[in-house]
Chain A
């Protein structure tokens, strides 16, 4: 049995500590929003989870491209590990968004571009997992995964653009703000600190999970190898 690398243990504990700080900043330290009240605090982790989802799928597309170019197994491992994390965080993003939308928009769900795009993105990567499950040959599985990871990732901005042409009510807090959108607000300096710290925390969680998942994959492959050698001897 291989031991967990020391750096990974340190990183895991560091991530846990940073997450506790982020919880403090978001739940206690950040000021209460004047109109929406405490429910606005969902925003910090909501955006951070969405960011990690998008980052994870970007990593999958890039790792897939490198895999196709070089044919090295480790890039495929990164791609599939990243997709699994991305699915979970996109799901967290959608669920926290719904929790916020219920009191603010008075509905769990609207057909807004960002909501629909996030959901379609989730469906694309669930299809990605299903495609991989349907193929036994590991080499072909990796190639098809890479191709679909690239095709799916390219379609996401087009999906967003296409639904964007309908009018949106989703608030755009970062970047150009449309003050008429329901639930829009300006961040104070303290809110900004909590917001960027959440982004940092979730990125760290992503890296930690990715590392654990890669290690798990390597161990699983080792077990496969040993099974084969045990059976053949």
Chain B
């Protein structure tokens, strides 16, 4: 049986039309909880940032990022960095909930369980965007390229939304498995490939100054990906946290 039934019985108004505000408030409460915990401990963003900086440094030596090769590979390097740093954050964000028993507390709260999903996903999106907001200027300074273009930032936003939408769902499954740290990237990356490919291509298009007609298919693909997977995660998240 879907687990929502008992929640609905306790709080019948949560499904009524006027309760959208209550739903949004519970999402905001979970996001706020994650942000407040992070700003006190600074564990997650710190680790993600150091890791992202290391990945960029390793790329520097592995690819010899001189002037000519740099232009062609910048978008690829950026997205690989974001994807790797992102799994670190996703794993940690769900592991905290699992290890300290917080997830059980959240599940006991009389809110719709999809609100927990959206709360965690938006929290993860925030962390990802913060890391990206620091990595972008760092990369710009280190390699003397201007990454502050509205188009590129829009692509990064779209990509991060899709990444955290799928990542939060899969991370909440992975933390409940025996092999959890190994499992998340293996589950996540094959499903992410269309999004990452579109993100790399669209970013590259903006960096190289391609025409919009060439970039639009990739942007449309990313929007479709985001919408489809947010909808799927919304429908199946109940089954992932069910006890």
Contacts and interface: CB of A to CB of B under 8 A. Distances in A.
B224 interface: yes
B173 A130 contact: no
A142 B240 CA distance: 10
A144 B239 CA distance: 8
Nearest to B238: A68
Contact of A131 (B1, B177, B197): B177
Contacts of A161: 194, 221
A151 B239 contact: no
A208 interface: no
B186 interface: yes
A123 interface: yes
Contacts of A71: 1
A165 interface: yes
Chain B interface mostly: helix
A131 B221 CA distance: 28
B198 interface: yes
Interface residues of A, number: 29
B194 A146 contact: no
Nearest to A159: B194
Contact of A158 (B183, B221, B240, B242): B221
A150 interface: yes
Interface in B168-218: 169-170, 173-174, 176-180, 183, 186-187, 190-191, 193-194, 197-198, 201, 217-218
A147 B236 contact: yes
Interface residues on B, range: 20 to 34
Interface string A131-157: 101111000100110111011101100
What is the predominant secondary structure among interface residues of chain A facing chain B?
A: helix
A191 interface: no
A127 interface: yes
A159 B169 CA distance: 19
B228 A148 contact: no
Contacts of B242: 143
Contacts of B170: 148, 151
Interface in A49-104: 68, 71
A162 interface: yes
Interface in A214-230: none
Contacts of A30: none
A151 B198 contact: no
B210 to A, nearest CB: 13
Contact of B191 (A134, A143, A152): A152
B193 A162 contact: yes
Nearest to B218: A165
A163 interface: yes
13 contacts: A131-B187, A134-B177, A135-B178, A143-B242, A144-B176, A147-B169, A147-B236, A150-B232, A151-B166, A151-B229, A152-B190, A162-B221, A165-B218
Interface of B: 1, 166, 169-170, 173-174, 176-180, 183, 186-187, 190-191, 193-194, 197-198, 201, 217-218, 221, 224-225, 228-229, 232, 236, 239-240, 242
When A and B form their complex, which 6 residue pairs have the shortest distance between CB atoms, in order from nearest? A134-B177, A158-B194, A162-B194, A134-B179, A124-B190, A123-B190
